Amino acid sequence: MLRRFAALVAFVAIPSVLNAQSRGVPVENIDRSVSPCTDFDAYANGQWRATHPMPAIQNTWALRTVTQDETRARLRSIAEEDATKAASAPKGSPTQLTGDFYAACMDEPRVNALGLKPLEQMLQGIEAVHDVKSLSAQIVRLQEISLAAPLSLNAAQNLHDTTQMIAEIEILGLGMPDRDYYLRDEPRFKDTREKYTAYMHKMFALAGTGDSSHSDADAAPAIAAVMKIETALAQARLSRVELRDPAVTDHLMTFAELKALAPNFNWSEEFHALGVPSDGHINVPQPKLVQAFDNLLASASLDDWRSYLRWQLLNGEAAKLSATFENERFAFYGTALTGVKEMRPRWQRCVIATDEMLGEALGREYVDRYLPPEAKARARQMAVNIVNELKRSIETRDWMTAPTKAKALEKVNALNIKIGYPDKWKDYAGVVVDRATYLESSLSAARYSERDDLNQIGKPVDRGRWDMPPPT
C-alpha cells in the first residue's frame, strides 16, 4: 500500500458535500442526563443511540454508519439501472462493467447452482503441485488474483526516496486476525482457534462432499496442515508492538540479496510472471518472516502445502461462492470474530462487492449524479482558502523563528488537495465481466487490481492516484 510520509493529503468526501446543507450540532442527539465531564460521548450521542437501536447486521453503529447506508442505497439505484442497460452498453464501459457485475452477484440461484465449479480449474492446479518449482508457480498464480498464500508482492513508497515506488515483499496468509490467536492460550484466543478449525472442517467438507456436517476423512489432516503452516508463520511475525517502529520494517535490498535471503523460492519466476522489474530496490519489512516462509517450502510436505493453498483459495473466495460456503464464512468472520448477528441483505453485499472490485467505474457514475464539476470546484476552492489561511497564520506567528517557519511552510506546500474523485479515472482495461459468471468476473477484476498496483513499481509516485473509491 502507498505510504505517505512525505506529504499530507487533504480530502473532501462526497457525502460531506451532499450533507453540506445540514449545519451545526444536532441538539436532539444530546443526552442531558449524562455529565459531559464524565462521559462526553454518552452526553453528545446518548439520545441518538437510545432512539436508533443498532441493526443486527452491524457491529458498530453511529451517524457515519447511517451515512454509509444512505450512500449504498444510492449506489444500488445506479447498479440496478446499469444492469438494465448493460446489454446495449459498450464492452468495458462503466455501465457495462458495473451493470453486469452487480447483476451477476444478484443472481443468487445461478451462483448456488454453480457451487464450487468456478474454482475447479484453480483447485486442479493446486492438486497438480509435485515439487517446489510447481508449488512456487501456484503461489504466484494466487497472487495474480490478490490472494497472499502466503506471499504478497506489492508496490510501496521508498522510505529513503519518497518520490519513488519500489517493490515490497510481505508474508501474510493467516486466517485469523493476528499472531496472538495462534500463540496465546487465554480463553478468548483458544476459543477462536477452536471455532476456526471447526470452520475449516465445514469448508473442507463442503468442498469434498457438499455437506458441511459430513465427517470427511480428509478434513482432519488438511486442517492440521493449515494450522501447522499458519502457526509457523505466526511465530516468525513481529508483534503489533514491534511494528509500531517504522525503522523495524525498513530493509532495502537488491534482487540478488532477496534470492540469497530465501533461496528455495523461485523469485525470478515471481517477478517475471507478475511483470515486476527486478533491477531496483526491494523492501522486505520482515526478513525473518520471509526466511520462515522459505524454510517451510523445504520442511513442510507437499501434501501440507496443497492443503494450505486449497484453504487459502476456498477461504478467500467463499463470499463469492454458493450460499453454503458464504454462510459458513460469515458464521466465523462475521459472528464469531466480530459479533454481527445477521448477514447483510444480498443487495448490500453486491453493492459493496461492486464498489470494492470496480470502485472507479461505479464511482464515476456516482459523481455524475451527486458531485457535478461546479460542486467539486467550490469544494476545492474552500480547501485552497484553508491552506492559504494556514500559510498566513504561520507567516505572522511572532513566536516562530524564521527556520521553523520555513520548515512549516515546506510541509504546507506539500499538501496534496484531493476533492471527491480523481482527475484521471482507471480504465479497467482487460477486465471481462459476464453476468453469467460472478466469481470469474470478480477474479478478472482482481487481476486488474493486482496489475494496477504492481505497475507503479519503478516509477515516480503518482500523487493524483486515489486509494479509495469516490463514494467512500
Alpha-carbon gap, residue 8 to 326, rounded angstroms: 39
**What's the Rg (C-alpha) of the chain?**
25
Alpha-carbon gap, residue 333 to 154, rounded angstroms: 25
Cis preceding linkage at 469, omega within 30: no
Examine the pLDDT at 8 and tell me if it is beyond 50.
Answer: no
Q: CA triplet 271, 272, 275: central angle to 5 degrees?
A: 80
Task: Specify the pLDDT at position 197.
Answer: 97
Task: Specify the pLDDT at position 7.
Answer: 38
Q: In terms of C-beta distances under 8 Å and separation of at least 24 residues, what long-range contacts does 89-98 make, across chains too?
A: 92/427, 92/428, 92/429, 92/431, 94/361, 94/362, 94/364, 94/365, 95/365, 96/433, 97/358, 97/361, 97/428, 97/431, 97/433, 98/354, 98/358, 98/361, 98/362, 98/365
245: alpha, beta or left, given left = phi > 0 and alpha = psi -120 to 50?
beta
| Average pLDDT of every residue of the chain | 93
Task: Specify the pLDDT at position 214.
Answer: 53
Q: Which three cell numbers mark 148?
A: 497472499
Alpha-carbon gap, residue 303 to 312, rounded angstroms: 14
Task: Specify the pLDDT at position 20.
Answer: 46
Alpha-carbon gap, residue 284 to 51, rounded angstroms: 50
Q: How far is CA 97 from the centre of its chain?
A: 20
Examine the pLDDT at 16 and tell me if it is beyond 80.
Answer: no
User: Please, is 322 exposed, middle or buried when counting C-beta atoms within 10 Å of its C-beta (0-12, 13-18, 19+)?
Assistant: buried
Examine the pLDDT at 28 and tell me if it is beyond 80.
Answer: yes
pLDDT in tens, 370-403: 999 999 999 999 999 999 999 999 999 999 999 9
Task: Specify the pLDDT at position 21.
Answer: 45
Examine the pLDDT at 449 and tell me if it is beyond 50.
Answer: yes
pLDDT in tens, 413-428: 999 999 999 999 999 9
Task: Specify the pLDDT at position 64.
Answer: 87
pLDDT in tens, 202-257: 999 999 855 555 555 678 999 999 999 999 999 999 999 999 999 999 999 999 99
Q: Does the CA dihedral 282-286-291-297 come out positive or negative?
A: negative
Examine the pLDDT at 365 and tell me if it is beyond 50.
Answer: yes
Mean pLDDT of 125-150: 97
Alpha-carbon gap, residue 304 to 340, rounded angstroms: 33
Nearest to 346 by CA among 111, 130, 16: 111
pLDDT in tens, 47-89: 999 999 999 999 999 888 999 999 999 999 999 999 999 999 9
Examine the pLDDT at 26 and tell me if it is beyond 80.
Answer: yes
Task: Specify the pLDDT at position 4.
Answer: 37
Task: Give 342's contacts (C-beta < 8 A, 6+ positions apart).
Answer: 55, 56, 57
Q: Which three cell numbers mark 113?
A: 447452482
Determine the residue type at 338: T
Under the banding of pLDDT at 50, 70 and 90, the label for residue 472 is confident
Q: Which three cell numbers mark 405?
A: 517557519
Residue that has been written with the C-alpha cell 499458519 in this structure: 230
The helix/strand/coil state of 35 is coil
Task: Specify the pLDDT at position 315.
Answer: 98
